[in-house]
Amino acid sequence: MNILNIITGNVARGPQTVRFPGREAPAAAYRGSVTMDAAKCLACGICDYVCVSRAIAVTPGAASCEWTYDPGRCTYCGRCVDHCPVAAVTQAGDRGDSYARSGAQRATVTVPYPACPQCGRPAMPYNEAVLGAAFGDVSAELRERIHLCERCRRRATTAALKANFGAAAETGRSDDGR
Amino acid sequence: MSPVITMGPFHPALEEPYKIDVVCEGEHVTDASIRVGFNFRAIEWLAERKNYTADIALFEHVCGICSNVHTLCLSRAIETLAGIEVPERAQYIRVVVAEAERLHSHLLWAGIACELIGFETLFMACFGLREKIMDVLEAISGNRVNYAMNRPGGVNRDIADPGAVLAAVRAIADATSKQLIPVLTTDATVRARCAGVGVLTRADAIAYGAVGPTARASGLPQDIRASAPYEAYDRLLFEVPVRQEGDVFARVVVRALEILESCRIIEQAIEQMPAGPFRGDDYPKVPAGEVCSRIEGPRGEVFYYVASDGSDTPTRVRVRTPTFANMPTARPMVLGQTFADVPLIQASLDPCYSCTDR
Amino acid sequence: MTVVRGLISLLVFPGALFALPAGWFMMWLQRKINARAQGRIGPPFFQPFFDFVKLLAKEPVVRPRLQGFLMTVLPLAAVASTLGAIALLPVFPKAGGFSGDLVLLVSLIEVGPLCAVLGGFVSRSLYGGIGASREAVLTLAYNVPFLIALFALVASAGSFSLAGVALAAAWPVRVLALIALVACIPVKLHLNPFSAASAEQEIYAGSTTEYDGPRLALWELAHALEWVALTGLVASLAFPVADAAWPVRVVVFVAVSVALVVVLSFAAASTARLKLAQTARWFLLCGSGIALSALVVAFVRL
Ligand code: SF4
Ligand code: SF4
């Protein structure tokens, strides 16, 4: 007769169904679709590296970096959010809209490269904290130099090499390469 | 000639595409075979082409019901290979999530078993109860199905609100012991459909290498949580329910009791959980080598083999799911039974052919 | 006069004009109660009607000519015979002729399941065939208590007319026989726990698996009418009101029918489906036991 308890309980409680447009709100920790803040992004490509389903693609260009995201491919695993070194990636707390066409929700964010402090050409964005995390202690001079564009960086390196040519000749060359 | 009745690949009794060919004399089953392979997704092949971080998320998708056991087993394999210690809090969180998943899996199975014997009301009751634990899992992990909780060296998220977990688990334990178990064990029509049906003898269970609740319902007291404890299981008290009968009814009872045990484990784990860190390094450095790892999933022993060449990508990941071991036992179970019992008997293994196909 | 009355009871009350909506209402009520017992909302009021109209509007699958013919004629025969059975129910003022003749009524009710068995076999589907053979076994099984119970009533009342039985049957016989009769209804209506003939988890829809569009609509129609015929049969035997004024009779008829639907629905919601052999055994042992005791009581009283 226990089943009758369940049935009377159900009848007394009334239907538990939520009618269509209504929906229970997702939990506070909900992992929804991914958005990226271009102002923070370093175009490092780590989100691309950890994404299992290739929902994120990071394509560096000459003056800016294309960051694309396709929710249709995303598994909402949150790896990109966890691994982004500058917390540029966040996940929405809602379930988002539904859509009918594959790729309809693909989003592209352009990450502009900041201007090189010396020549004004676009330079890859860099973050000093990330630099420390990646390479450990770096001299103040190098720390300065990360904001330069590639050309200026090369120039600075060449200038430094010229200044210390003797030392570089001892360590940087070998006879095999000739 | 006896007619071969093909159930599947799409059939109301099957949750996933696979095929059962049943040879019948009237309503009597004289032979049966299961054909799988409809869900092949080349996950092992993909794993050899993706880095470890992405692989964890990849193996989450081996199974739609017990996604957590796969990431846990793979994480443990990587940890063993890389020699990573898991912080104690993370071990307890892993236990909570694994047991919550077992709850949801067993309740889902109980519901489907009821549906297969035409008992829709009980099916709805089971699924209603399951909704509670799904909510808990969503609150902890942010998703109902793919929890993305494990990472080599710890877990991704903390349990922010242990009180809510405790409350939900106590409610489930209460409803299971007061409503579900009495109906499942005493209802005349349920007993008529389950008792004495689909017997797997102890000898057959050993011969076929059955695992998990299927083996435990046939008198084999095997449970990796108890025999080779991992994570925090050695610090938690729980029992391994074993029944001797080996019929569908025994499998129902074993799983029902396991629901209660899981509730007990979660309660203890939440209470004992120490404070402290819960995540490890972002990128494990995995040296060359190979390793096996096994844990107890809701359906039985899950086995992973991982081989590494020292790069960020494994050279081989091999998955053996519990259904792979349990699947062949369906044949001795259905022989001599009636056709009406076949859906229930094959479902009583709690099969997951999608995991088996990978 | 007799012809007019006969036509009225066939086409108006309790026939088509009443029975169709009533059948749909009963199907809706059963689904609604089932849903509420499970904590669901359940279908809207017009759902069975919508289902019927939708099926009618569908283009039928092209079949070999003979098979198509049989697959149309068999459900039609089921509809016609069940409608005839309903027309015989003695709710309307005495119409003379065959009205209220128990033997004719029971044979007409039996035509429906028989058509379902044949319909399952001619559809040439494996599942249809299994469903049909299950239907056949069950028809044999439940007819044992069904007929014994009716015979007990007839023996107790000494009359073969429904009105006569309703008036004259002794109460102990009536109660026992009605219990046996009510227990037979779920088999015919494919309700739990005796729904083995249409166990969707095993054999899809049983004998109607292969039916589609308008042909399936006819089966649905026959099914709706069976609800009215079977509950109506019990309702007209339940109370000795055959002599009362006709409004009283109509009210009792409708009230008992609806009450039966409620009881059957709750019984269906609270049980699992028994297997074919178990169902057959239940009817041959328990069902027949109850019916036989009714018969014994009837003869002892005599
Ligand atoms: S991981 Fe973060 S910083 Fe790196 S590319 Fe992605 S969004 Fe930009
Ligand atoms: S949530 Fe996971 S699948 Fe989605 S973009 Fe991030 S890493 Fe890729």
Percent pLDDT > 90 in chain C is 10
Lowest-confidence pick of B137-151, C12-26, C63-77 = C12-26
State in Å: Cα B61 to ligand 1 middle. Answer: 25
Q: What is the mean pLDDT of chain B?
A: 86
CA distance B286 to B307: 10
Residues 1-60, chain A: which have Cβ within 8 Å of C?
3-4, 7, 10-11, 13-17, 19
Task: Establish if B165 touches chain C: CB-CB under 8 angstroms.
Answer: no
Q: Which two tokens stand for residue A62?
A: 């000459």
A67 bridge partner residues: A58, A109
Q: Which two tokens stand for residue C244?
A: 């009362």
C189 to chain A, minimum CA–CA distance in Å? 22
Residue A36 near ligand 2, beta carbon < 6 Å:
no
Instruction: Please check whether residue C148 is in contact with residue C297, taking contact to mean a CB–CB distance below 8 angstroms.
Output: no
Full pLDDT tens readout for chain B, 358 residues: 567 888 778 877 777 888 888 888 877 888 888 888 888 888 889 988 888 888 888 998 888 888 899 999 999 898 888 888 888 888 899 999 999 999 999 999 888 888 888 888 888 888 888 988 888 888 888 888 888 888 888 888 888 888 888 888 888 888 888 888 888 888 888 888 888 888 888 888 888 888 888 888 888 888 888 888 888 888 888 888 888 888 888 888 898 889 889 998 998 888 888 887 888 776 778 888 889 998 988 888 899 999 988 888 889 899 988 888 888 888 888 888 888 788 888 888 888 888 888 8
Task: Establish if B221 touches chain C: CB-CB under 8 angstroms.
Answer: no
C197 to chain B, minimum CA–CA distance in Å? 10
pLDDT band at A96 (very low <50, low <70, confident <90, very high): confident
Instruction: Please check whether residue A53 is in contact with residue A75, taking contact to mean a CB–CB distance below 8 angstroms.
Output: yes
What is the domain partition of chain B in residue ranges? 40-328
Q: Which of B102, B101, B125 is nearest to B113 (CA)?
A: B125
Instruction: For CA atoms B142, B148, B149, B154, give the dihedral sign.
Output: negative
Look at A11 and C36 and tell me if their CB atoms are within 8 Å. yes
pLDDT surpasses 50 at A1? yes
User: Which chain B residues are closer than 8 Å to C190 by Cβ?
Assistant: none
Residue A47 near ligand 1, beta carbon < 6 Å:
yes
pLDDT in tens, A125-148: 877 777 777 787 777 777 777 788
Q: How far is CA A13 from CA B53, B121, B127, C40, in A?
A: 46, 15, 16, 10
pLDDT in tens, B152-186: 888 888 888 888 888 888 888 888 888 888 888 88
Q: Which residues, 6 or more positions from B138, have their beta carbon under 8 angstroms from its beta carbon?
A: A26, A27, A29, A30, B144
Instruction: Please check whether residue B307 is in contact with residue B314, taking contact to mean a CB–CB distance below 8 angstroms.
Output: yes
Question: Which residue is associated with the tokens 């007319």?
Answer: C161
B29 bridge partner residues: B24
Look at A75 and B53 and tell me if their CB atoms are within 8 Å. no
Instruction: Please check whether residue B55 is in contact with residue B47, taking contact to mean a CB–CB distance below 8 angstroms.
Output: yes
pLDDT in tens, B22-53: 888 877 888 888 888 888 888 889 988 888 88
Asked if the peptide bond before residue C193 counts as cis, ω within 30 degrees of 0, the response is yes
CA distance C38 to C131: 27
pLDDT of residue B274: 86
Residue A43 near ligand 1, beta carbon < 6 Å:
yes
User: Which chain C residues are closer than 8 Å to A7 by Cβ?
Assistant: 37, 266, 269-270
Q: Which two tokens stand for residue B257?
A: 């009791």
Residue A123 near ligand 1, beta carbon < 6 Å:
no
pLDDT in tens, C148-170: 988 888 888 877 777 777 777 77
pLDDT of residue A173: 54
- Which domains are seen in chain A, by residue range? 26-112 (3.30.70.3270), 114-171 (no CATH)
Q: Which of B222, B207, B235 is nearest to B294 (CA)?
A: B222
Residue A60 near ligand 1, beta carbon < 6 Å:
no
Phi, psi of A90, deg, nearest 5: -135, 155
Q: How far is CA B12 from CA B17, B275, C155, C192, in A?
A: 10, 48, 47, 17
State in Å: Cα B217 to ligand 2 middle. Answer: 40
Q: What residue type is assigned to position B192 of the chain?
A: A
CA distance B81 to B75: 10
B151 to chain A, minimum CA–CA distance in Å? 10
pLDDT in tens, C28-37: 999 999 999 8
Look at C37 and A7 and tell me if their CB atoms are within 8 Å. yes
* The total number of structural domains that make up chain C: 1
pLDDT surpasses 70 at A177? no
Q: What residue type is assigned to position C65 of the chain?
A: R
Q: What is the CATH number of domain B40-328?
A: 1.10.645.10
User: Which chain C residues are closer than 8 Å to B341 by Cβ?
Assistant: 275
Instruction: Please check whether residue B144 is in contact with residue B134, taking contact to mean a CB–CB distance below 8 angstroms.
Output: yes
Q: In terms of residue numbers, what domain contains C21?
A: 3-301
Q: What residue type is assigned to position C128 of the chain?
A: G
Nearest beta carbon to residue C270 from set B114, B121, B192: B121
Task: Establish if B277 touches chain C: CB-CB under 8 angstroms.
Answer: no
Supply the ipTM of this predicted assembly. Answer: 0.82
Q: Which two tokens stand for residue A79?
A: 């790896």
Lowest-confidence pick of A102-106, C49-53, C79-83, C278-282 = A102-106
DSSP A1-57: -HHHHHHHHHHHH---PPPTT--PPPPTT----EEE-TTT-----HHHHH-TT--EE
CA distance C294 to C173: 5
